[in-house]
Chain A
Amino acid sequence: MQDTLNLFVMNIGQWLSANLGTLNNPDQIIVEIARWLRTEFGNWGVVGFILANLMATVPLIAVFSGCFALTTWLERKGLGRIQNRYGPNRVGPYGLFQPMADGIKMLLKEDIVPERADKIGHFLAPVIIMIPAMTGLVFLPIGRNIIAASIDSALLFFFAIGSIVSLSVFMAGWASHNKFSLVGGMRAIAQLVSYEMPLILSAVVVVMFVGSMNTSVIVEAQQIKSWVTSDAPALQCLGQVLGWHVFQPWGLMGFLLLFVSALAEANRSPFDLPEADSEIIAGHLTEYSGFKYALFFLAEYVNTFAIIGICTTLFLGGWNGPNIRPPWSDDPQALLIPGFVWFFLKIFVLMGIMIWIRGTLPRLRIDQLMGFAWKFLLPLAIINLLVAGCFYHMEWYFGWPFSILILCKSYAIVVRLNKSKLVNSNRTYTYA
Chain B
Amino acid sequence: MNGQGILKGMLVTAKNFFGSYVSRERLTTVSYPEGGNTIKEQSRNIPFLVFDGEDPVAGMRCTACQKCEKACPPQCIFIEKDKDERGKALQRPKVFDIDASVCMGCQICVEVCPFESIWMDSNFELSTFNRFEGLQFNREKLLKSNTYFHKIHPQQAQASDDRLAEKERKRLEREAARRAEKSASEPQV
Contacts and interface: CB of A to CB of B under 8 A. Distances in A.
A360 B10 contact: yes
Contacts of A411: 2
B29 interface: yes
Contacts of B29: 85-86
A84 B27 contact: yes
Nearest 5 A/B pairs, CB to CB: A415-B2, A360-B13, A84-B26, A82-B13, A81-B17
A361 B27 contact: no
Q: Which of A85, A357, A360 has the most CB of B within 10 A?
A: A360
Nearest to A357: B10
B20 A361 contact: no
B31 A360 contact: no
B165 interface: no
Interface string B8-27: 01101110110111000011
Interface of A: 78, 81-86, 89, 356-357, 359-361, 411-412, 415
A81 B17 CA distance: 5
Contacts of A415: 2
26 contacts: A78-B17, A81-B17, A81-B20, A82-B13, A83-B16, A84-B16, A84-B19, A84-B28, A85-B20, A85-B27, A85-B29, A86-B27, A86-B31, A356-B10, A356-B13, A357-B10, A359-B13, A359-B17, A360-B6, A360-B10, A360-B12, A360-B13, A361-B9, A411-B2, A412-B2, A415-B2
Contacts of B20: 81, 84-85
Give the interface SS of chain B, mostly helix, strand, loop or mixed: helix
Nearest to A78: B17
Give the interface SS of chain A, mostly helix, strand, loop or mixed: helix
A76 to B, nearest CB: 13
Contacts of B13: 82, 356, 359-360
A244 to B, nearest CB: 22
A357 B26 CA distance: 21
Interface residues of B, number: 17
A397 to B, nearest CB: 26
Q: Which of B13, B20, B29 has the most CB of A within 10 A?
A: B13
A136 B76 CA distance: 63
Nearest to B26: A84
Contacts of B19: 84
Nearest to A411: B2
Interface in B8-55: 9-10, 12-14, 16-17, 19-21, 26-29, 31
Given A81-B16, A82-B17, A361 B26 contact: no
Contacts of B16: 81-84
Contacts of A359: 13, 17
A106 B13 CA distance: 31
Nearest to A353: B10
Nearest to A415: B2
A411 B27 CA distance: 40
B8 to A, nearest CB: 10
A227 to B, nearest CB: 33
Contacts of A78: 17
Contacts of B27: 84-86
Given A84-B28, A360-B13, 14 more contacts: A81-B17, A83-B16, A84-B16, A84-B19, A84-B26, A84-B27, A85-B27, A85-B29, A86-B31, A89-B31, A356-B13, A356-B14, A359-B13, A415-B2
A411 B2 CA distance: 9
A415 B16 CA distance: 30
A283 B52 CA distance: 61
B6 A361 contact: yes
A85 B16 CA distance: 10
Contacts of A361: 6, 9
Given A86-B29, A86-B31, A415-B2, A81 B10 contact: no
B69 to A, nearest CB: 43
A357 B7 CA distance: 10
B126 to A, nearest CB: 22
A242 to B, nearest CB: 25
A368 to B, nearest CB: 14
Contacts of A356: 10, 13-14, 17
Nearest to A419: B2
A83 B15 CA distance: 10
